Amino acid sequence: MDTSQYRDMFVQEAREHVQSLNEFLLNLERDPAQKEHVNTLFRSAHSLKGMAATMGYDQIKHLCIAIEEIFEKLRKEEHGLSSDLASALFKCFDALQEMVDDEEKKIDLESYLKLLQKPESVVSESSDTYIQPTSQTVRVKMEDLDSLVNLVGELMIDKMRLEQSLQNPSDETGQVLTSLNRLISDLQYQTMKIRLVPIEQIFNRFPRMIRDLSTSLGKQVELEIEGAGIELDRTVLDVISDPLLHILRNAVDHGIETVEDRKQVNKPEAAKIKITATRVGDRIAIEISDDGKGIDIERIKAKAVEKNIISEADAQRMSEDEIINLLGTPGLSSASTVTEISGRGVGMDVVFRQVQSVGGNVQIKTRKGFGTTFTLVIPLSLAIVSGLVIKAGNEKYVIPISSIITTLNIERKEIKTIQGKQVININEQIVSLIKVTDALNIKGVSDSQSEFVTVILVDKGGKQYGLIVDSYETMQEIVTKRLHSSHKSNFSDASILSDGSVVLILEPTALI
């Protein structure tokens, strides 16, 4: 029987079973008395075995049989779940994941079967096998799909009504246009809803990773996750996966102390890392906090001076927040040693850049001896966003509303110059000003005689900046069009306005 047509379905469902095996084995380690965890593990292994047998994947089938036997013994309480046995099972899950993702993958099956018989021989190490890129398919609820089909049907009806009414103009034309506008808005909403996926799709991978990393480093770490049910655009989800992974690796490797060091400062032996996702308007804030040793500000200063990123004078003048934000500079690390765990070619500069590439920002708060909190603020969707149309010189641009704090019309005499930079005092806070025409190196409109200046107040890493523009027009819902990466310097994407003109979408953080 030709099973190739079922391959995609097998991979999608098999990945879910492997994820379930990882998740519930972690739960069983934490709560060995909960028998339902064992039953769930047995069912997942049994289901995966049956699917593999149907597809003709014999190695997956035989490994599942051996895993199933272990869970059967746990159900009958013939033996308990030791740390070594859990580690052996996790290695088997990694092998299953590899074979599921690669149809041609072959393993030394006998070595895995022996590992399950003698789990004490397993070597504790960190593995990335289970951190796999997610499938580009999205499961859609039938009711959402039905709504979409119905909306398209109604849209077609109104299209025909509009064609008819335009041939014989009447009051009905306005009614049809109103109905058409409603349908298109509903269709937009429903289509965007289908693109949304729960953030738990990436959050669910982290408990296993934290368990393996902490075990390999001899540390005790408890991971807590909140808000995993929040949904966001699939494209955004794929982009933030690596930044979150890197932040968590750094936390376990460099931020969390050893058990002995925590005892010496009267901290609990088990460190805590907490991931929290919350909705903030049309954005989502993901907070990753730990109760480790925090970031050494003085060490960052010294490293930045050593690498000629800042001068000694700059180091003495800069605030703690400004020093911490230097972590987004390529080549700068506060770690005293590069390890296999977190030194894998993805620095904090890549974290900043990837988050900013989707119109987000990164904020870092730290307290030496008490821990560090990273906050990633990102848009829920990239396909359609609200934007403010601005003019700089003879060009029009769009700034995403999610990046804007407010708009101001200030008197030119209020602008001061400090150390060669234009600033303004807003609510007792000094805000740096950036002229958009200068930042983009375009010819501006001569307005030196104008009494007032238009400023768009934006946020970068929790700090306010003012963008000086010639004027702004209206707020619009804009459909984003992806730019080739070679054109993405100060711009995130492009769009087409209602008058048919093409505009670039400004990324405010890139101008600052």
Per-residue pLDDT band for 17 (boundaries 50, 70, 90) equals very high
pLDDT at position 372, please?
Answer: 94
Q: Give percent of the chain with pLDDT exceeding 90.
A: 25
CA 266 to chain centre: 34
Q: Is the pLDDT of residue 345 over 50?
A: no
Q: By mean pLDDT, which of 58-67, 97-106, 184-193 is the weakest? A: 184-193
Mean pLDDT of 487-501: 71
Q: Tell me the C-alpha distance between 460 and 457, whole Å.
A: 10
Are 407 and 472 in contact by the 8 Å Cβ rule? The answer is yes
- Token pair 């008197």 in the structure block, residue: 411
- The 3-state DSSP class for residue 109 equals helix
Residue range 396-419, pLDDT digits in tens: 898 888 788 899 999 888 988 888
Per-residue pLDDT band for 151 (boundaries 50, 70, 90) equals confident
Residue with more model confidence, 112 or 480: 112
- The 3-state DSSP class for residue 107 equals coil
Q: Tell me the C-alpha distance between 63 and 95, whole Å.
A: 9
Per-residue pLDDT band for 125 (boundaries 50, 70, 90) equals low
pLDDT at position 346, please?
Answer: 46
Per-residue pLDDT band for 329 (boundaries 50, 70, 90) equals confident
Are 89 and 116 in contact by the 8 Å Cβ rule? The answer is yes
pLDDT at position 223, please?
Answer: 94
Q: Residue 463: phi, psi to the nearest 5? A: -115, 140
Side-by-side strand order, sheet with 361-367: 221-226, 271-280, 283-290, 371-379, 361-367
- The 3-state DSSP class for residue 184 equals helix
- The 3-state DSSP class for residue 326 equals helix
- The 3-state DSSP class for residue 77 equals coil
Question: Helix 7-30 to helix 58-75 angle, to the nearest 10 degrees?
Answer: 30
Mean pLDDT of 170-175: 72
Per-residue pLDDT band for 374 (boundaries 50, 70, 90) equals very high
The encoded tokens of residue 262 equal: 């925590």
pLDDT at position 264, please?
Answer: 93
Q: Measured at the alpha carbon of residue 296, what is the angle toward residues 293 and 300, in degrees to the nearest 5?
A: 150
pLDDT at position 380, please?
Answer: 82
Q: Is the pLDDT of residue 321 over 50?
A: yes
Residue with more model confidence, 233 or 109: 109
Q: What torsion do the CA atoms of 55, 61, 64, 69 make, to the nearest 10 degrees?
A: 130
Most confident of 337-341, 435-439, 500-504: 435-439
Which DSSP state fits 370?
T
Side-by-side strand order, sheet with 384-392: 471-479, 384-392, 395-400, 502-506, 491-496, 481-482
Q: Tell me the C-alpha distance between 189 and 172, whole Å.
A: 26
293: exposed, middle or buried (Cβ count in 10 Å: 0-12, 13-18, 19+): buried
How many CB atoms are located within 10 Å of the residue 219 CB?
21
pLDDT at position 393, please?
Answer: 85
CA 430 to chain centre: 31
Q: Amino acid identity, residue 331? A: G
Q: Is the pLDDT of residue 68 over 70?
A: yes
pLDDT at position 30, please?
Answer: 87
Q: Residue 457: phi, psi to the nearest 5? A: -85, 120
Q: Tell me the C-alpha distance between 100 and 12, whole Å.
A: 9
pLDDT at position 226, please?
Answer: 93
Q: By mean pLDDT, which of 59-63, 353-357, 438-442, 446-450 is the weakest? A: 446-450
Q: Is the pLDDT of residue 18 over 90?
A: yes
Q: Is the pLDDT of residue 56 over 80?
A: yes
- Token pair 């339902």 in the structure block, residue: 36
- Which alpha helices (H) appear in 218-362, and where do they start and end? 234-250, 259-264, 297-306, 312-317, 320-325, 348-356
Q: Is the pLDDT of residue 500 over 50?
A: yes
Mean pLDDT of 417-439: 88
pLDDT at position 344, please?
Answer: 38
Which DSSP state fits 470?
S
How many CB atoms are located within 10 Å of the residue 298 CB?
11
pTM, rounded to two decimals: 0.70
- The 3-state DSSP class for residue 462 equals coil
Most confident of 168-177, 182-191, 350-359: 350-359
Q: Is the pLDDT of residue 506 over 90?
A: no
> What separation in angstroms does the CA of 106 have from each of 98, 99, 226?
9, 7, 38
Q: Give percent of the chain with pLDDT exceeding 70.
A: 85
Residue range 277-310, pLDDT digits in tens: 998 877 899 999 999 999 888 888 888 888 888 8
Q: Amino acid identity, residue 243? A: P
Q: Tell me the C-alpha distance between 301 and 317, whole Å.
A: 11
Q: How far apart are the first and last CA of the chain?
A: 60
